[in-house]
Every structure is written in structure tokens, then in C-alpha cells.
Amino acid sequence: MEAFTTFKGIGIPIDIINCDTDQIIPARFLRKDRRDPEMASFLWHDLRKDPEFIFNKAPYRDGKVVVADINWGCGSSREGAVYALNANGVRAVIAPSFGDIHYNNCLKWGVLPVRLARDDCDGLRRQLHDDPGAEVAFDLESQSVTGPDGARYKFEIDPFDKYRMLNGLDDYGVTREYDTQFDAFEAKHKAEYDWLYGDA
Amino acid sequence: MESKTLFENIWDRHVIAEREGGQSLVYIDRHLCHDGSFNAFGQLREHGRDVRRPSQTFATPDHYTPTRSADLRDVPDARAHEISTAIDKNCADFGVTLFPWGDDRQGIAHVVGPEQGITVPGITLCCGDSHTSTHGALGCISFGIGASEVAHVMATQAIWQRRPKTMRITVDGKLGFGVSGKDVIIAIIRQISAAGGTGYAIEYAGSAIRGLSMEGRLTLCNMTIEAGSRIGMVAPDDVTLDYVEGRPYAPKGVAWEKAVSFWRSLPTDEEAVFDTEHAVDGDAIAPMVTWGNSPQWAAPVTDTIPDPASEFDVEKRSEMESTLDYMDLKPGTPISEIKVDKVFIGSCTNARIEDLRSAAAVAKGRRAVVSTLISPGSGLVKKQAEAEGLDKIFTDAGMEWRLPGCSMCVGMNGDLLEPGERSASTSNRNFRGRQGQGSRTHLVSPSMAAAAAISGTFTDVRKLMED
Ligand code: SF4
């Protein structure tokens, strides 16, 4: 995973409530490999059929930061939604709330998910509409976002998620550091719930 | 002893280690895979990792499987064929138990798990699919994860998770005739919104929930993810035990007795406190129909399409306008006058035997006026339905009786709506394009879907069955 420390990029305002992962990448593209050369074109594929859709317009199409509305990334667990963001170089998403699975998927692939108050998200999207090409900046260490107008917002992130993102760590390595605890736990668990490990 | 909720009783028994800040390394008892898990197997191969406990993972193809032909060679789409068969090689290479295509035990993962007794109370279960919330109906912690997390679970038999907050939704009362678990969960989502459960593990309680069959509870927990929550649970009781007993992977003999006494200890203590509580009036729930592109946009079949002008929240109002525009619906239209083009009865929400029985009760002796596709949830559900003669009722009504799989729920196998077509569907998502580009999906219960097939519009099944 690519480490995330600081980042600055053009903001793309997405004014859709409950923008589900089917909108982010339609199911028919999930059959493609993660590294498919066309992956970038799958992002918001069907929404982009409307020429007025924001990502079709310059300079938003060079955007690297998404500012969304309530319940961004709800629905299907498809990790393809993050592969499509990755393929477009999107490194951060700001929203009032996220689908829980998508939130975790973002963390796994170096896309920083930032929860801000709905009013703040609304305000940021307005600025991005009014000033196309305006940039949003992130500093993960200090857990802050800076909007186009210079206003700073603090955000919360789980300390362990932050640690893994800052260092670009894959969970696997961290988990294997716990092998001793795992073995002890499993031995006890198997003894207590032996019916789960029966003859079947 | 400290009072605990059902969720806490199970969670606390599965925490291997905890980090500062509260994230836990959680042991996973059982893991389910499907044909769409090829990404996760690919990640294992990329890193040269093994499946740590292959006996705790089970797999069945569902998303890409054809429902027309029992012969995989008939699948004209080369990539779908490749994905459908990759699961055989992946399971063989990694030593995972597979219920392969053509086997009676094959089906939709969330139908197969409970059916095989792989899902039992008190466990933790994961699957790379958001509707893994389904299994909580048996009183376990079960949640959907992304492909990287799937690869992690396979490689370590554990997962890092933030402990969710707890929510209880109490539905008291008695459900009326023609009202099912599907209507209950749609009514709940309408009340708490599609994001209302985000960050929570939900326990469903109350007399109306106790009164649901296991199939009804599975439907209820299935759509928990549509309320934003990954975990929906119902405390294990006699209904649960009757359902689990005798299933292939369920404990037997002395082990069964021991398991049962543990399972009986799981329900929420009376003094336990939830972070949030909601109450829903079970007596008031009517057959529901969704009218927008989120399951929260729903109404009783007796209602009319709402007017966005009466919504105060500006963003919500514009979302309603755009969803009605996509669905080609006008405010004030009676829901019962909306015409449908196709009916789909199936999916992990509503493709179990009881679902098929309730659809058959409506279809019996009648004729479908629109194209209707029925896909049972597994080979075993199909067999059971055929033994009961349900297939005959459906085919006599002019409906198509297909093979088990996800089918038109997501259309990955090619079972799709044409652009602009409107469906009455027993699946769980009415998202834009979910059933094909430009598709318009209305979510309903199996009996309401059958009623729509018979009359061509959203007919109140209670009235239809009166006549
Ligand atoms: S039936 Fe639909 S919702 Fe269920 S697992 Fe299959 S695609 Fe997903």
C-alpha cells in the first residue's frame, strides 16, 4: 500500500446522497482485473454517460479528491470501487458518512476516507463548484483538511488506521506479529467450542 | 457479572488482541467464498500466501453462474466462464471445501451457509459480500468484507475490526396477513434511513421478530446492510435450534447438547444497555414497495408516490426529484397503478423455500401477464420446491423456473432488464443500473412480486387473495 502523509489535489464535488458502489463502478466491470488498463474509465462509468456529469468537465476530470454527501460508498462490498478511484489517482474522499465496508476498502489501498460534518461537506462542495479546479489539502499526521478558502478542518481517524496509512503497511505483516496470541487463543477456543471443529 | 448484549457476548469471546484506540484482532470461525472472490485468491497468489485454516472456509459459485443451462460450457461469455471455473482451481489449490456447479448443495452463499449448518449461533463469520449480514439471523456475528480483507481472513483466520456500537430495533405486535420479513425490513429502513445503521451492530427484538420463521429472519438480517449496518442479529431461540438441528455441518449428539447449552446463554441480558434504541409498530406494517434508487425510498402499496416539494431538506428534495426522474414516476401516482415489465423472484433475500411457497400460493391457478423469472436460492431449495410441486405451479402460470444463482439480482450472469424496463424484484437493491443499464427496480416481497406478475401492476396481495 502506498503510504499517505500529505496530499493536495483538485476537488471533485459529488452531490449525490447514498452514492452506492454500483454508481462508483457498475457490476459488469468487476470481472476485470484490478490492473486492467481501462480501469480508470470504469469510475462513475454510467453516470458519465451524462455529458453534464461533473467528472466529464475540465478541470474536474483531473480531480484527485472527492467531496461527497451522506452515505458515500454504501451498498456492495466491491473493492473495485477503490481500484477505480486508484486508477484515476484519487487519494482522498471527504463525506459526512461512508458505507462501512467501502471505508475499510479505501484504507487498504491508500485512499484516505475523511468524515466531516455535513455542513462542512456542503460548504466544500459549494466552493469547488464556484471555483473549478480549486484544491483541497490533507495532512494525516495532524488529521487536518484545508479547503480552497484556507479554512482548516480537523478530522477523526482510528489511531491504528492512521498508523497503517502513514507507514503504508499491509495488515498481514501486523497480524503475524500476533502469532503467539493467536495460537494461544485458538487452542483455548478449540477446546471450548469443540463442536465447531467436529467430524464434518 | 456485567450485563451484555447478544453482540457483546459473542464479540468478546473472539477478540485475540486489542490495539490502543480499540481496534481488535478478531478470530473468524467460518468463512464463505463465492466465484466473485477470485480477486482475493489472486492477492494470496501475488504474495505467495496460503489459506491458514482451509477447513474453516467453504465456497460456492453464485454471482456468475448461468440459470438457463446446467452446462457451464453453454456460457457464451468467455470471461464469465473463466470466473465460474476459476473457483474450482482456487479451491483445489488452497484445499478449500467447494460445493461446485452442478452439485445440489451449490447456491447463493448466504442461502448455502445456513442450509448446510455452516452458519450456527455464537460464531463469527465473514464473506466477501455485503449481504453476509444475512447469517446473523441465526444469532451469530456475520459481516461482509472487501477483497483485501478476504485475502487477510484466508491467510490469517482473523481480521482487524473496530468494535461497532450497538443498536436494538424492537418490533412489537403481530404482522398482518400478506406481511413478511421483507416488509418489516423495508419499513425499518424507511424509518431509520439507508445510513441509519452505519457504524452499528443491530439486534432485532420484539414479538413480531420472535414470530418470524427462520426464513423471515434471514430476509430481515439480509437487508441490514441496506440500513448501513454490516451486522444484523436475532437472538437464538427454539426456531433457531429447530432450523439448525440435523444439518450436515451442525454439531451432533453430545456435541449438539453442549452447543445448545452455550447458545442458550447468548441472548441479551435484561439489564444490558444499547447505544441506540428504535421501536417499530409491527401491527402497522403493510406490504411495502420501494419507489426510488435507495431502499429507504419506500411506501406501503396503498400509498401514492410522494411529492419532493413537501421535503424540507434541500439535498434530500433534489435527490428525490432526481430519483423520481430516473424511475420515470410522477408525484401523486398511486403505487398500485405503476405497471411492471418483468418480475424477478430470487436472490439471497428471498429465494428460500418459504419465499417460494408464498409466491406459489399467489400464482396458483393464475396466469402471469408479464415475463417472470424465478431462481431458487440453492440446488436443495430447488429440489424441495419441486418435491412440493411449486415448479409446476409456476410453469403453469407461465413463469420461468430457473437454476440457482444470484441471477437478476445483479445480472452478472446476463439475466438483465433492458434499459428503461421496470421490475418488481424480491432482491435487496434498487440502485440505478443494478439490474442492467437504465433498469428501474422496485423491491417487494415474494408474494407481492407474484401478485405483480399476475396483474401487471403493484397489486395489494391482501386484496388479491381475498377475491
Ligand atoms: S443474490 Fe444479489 S445481493 Fe445476494 S449475494 Fe447474489 S448478487 Fe449479492
Look up the CATH number of the domain holding residue B432: 3.30.499.10
C-alpha cell of A88? 484515476
Cβ B413 under 6 angstroms from ligand 1: no
For ligand 1, atom 6, the nearest C-alpha belongs to B406
Looking at the domain assignment, is residue B1 inside a domain? no
User: Which positions in chain A touch B61 (Cβ < 8 Å)?
Assistant: none
Boundary (domain end) residue, out of B276, B297, B326: B276
Count of domains in chain B? 2
Q: Give CA torsion, residues B121, B124, B125, B126, to 10 deg.
A: 160
Using CA coordinates, name the residue in chain B closest to A23: B432
Domain of residue B405: give its range. 287-466
Boundary (domain end) residue, out of B234, B256, B276: B276
Same domain assignment for residues B229 and B320: no
Distance CA A136, CA B63 (A): 39
Per-residue pLDDT of chain B in tens (467 residues, 90 and over written 9): 689 999 999 999 999 999 988 899 999 999 999 999 999 999 999 999 999 999 999 999 999 988 988 777 677 678 888 888 899 999 999 999 999 999 999 999 999 999 999 999 999 999 999 999 999 999 999 999 999 999 999 999 999 999 999 999 999 999 999 999 999 999 999 999 999 999 999 999 999 999 999 999 999 999 999 999 999 999 999 999 999 999 999 999 999 999 999 999 999 999 999 999 999 999 999 999 999 999 999 999 999 999 999 999 888 899 999 999 999 999 999 999 999 999 999 999 999 999 999 999 999 999 999 999 999 999 999 999 999 999 999 999 999 999 999 999 998 888 999 999 999 999 999 999 999 999 999 999 999 999 999 999 999 999 999 87
Same domain assignment for residues B253 and B295: no
Contact B27 A174 (CB under 8 A): no
Same domain assignment for residues B115 and B141: yes
Note the ipTM here: 0.95
C-alpha cell of B257? 447438547
Cβ B428 under 6 angstroms from ligand 1: yes
Same domain assignment for residues B313 and B226: no
Same domain assignment for residues B240 and B306: no
Assess A22–B contact: CB distance below 8 Å, yes or no. Answer: yes
Boundary (domain end) residue, out of B249, B276, B303: B276
Same domain assignment for residues B161 and B294: no
Cβ B131 under 6 angstroms from ligand 1: yes
User: Which positions in chain A touch B29 (Cβ < 8 Å)?
Assistant: 193, 196
Which ligand 1 atom sits closest to the C-alpha of B349?
A: 4
Same domain assignment for residues B308 and B433: yes
Distance CA A11, CA A147 (A): 9
Looking at the domain assignment, is residue B282 inside a domain? no
> In a mutagenesis test of the B interface, which of A25, A166, A171, A197 is the best target, namely the one with the most B β-carbons within 10 Å?
A171
Distance CA A68, CA B213 (A): 40
Looking at the domain assignment, is residue B281 inside a domain? no
Assess B265–A contact: CB distance below 8 Å, yes or no. Answer: no
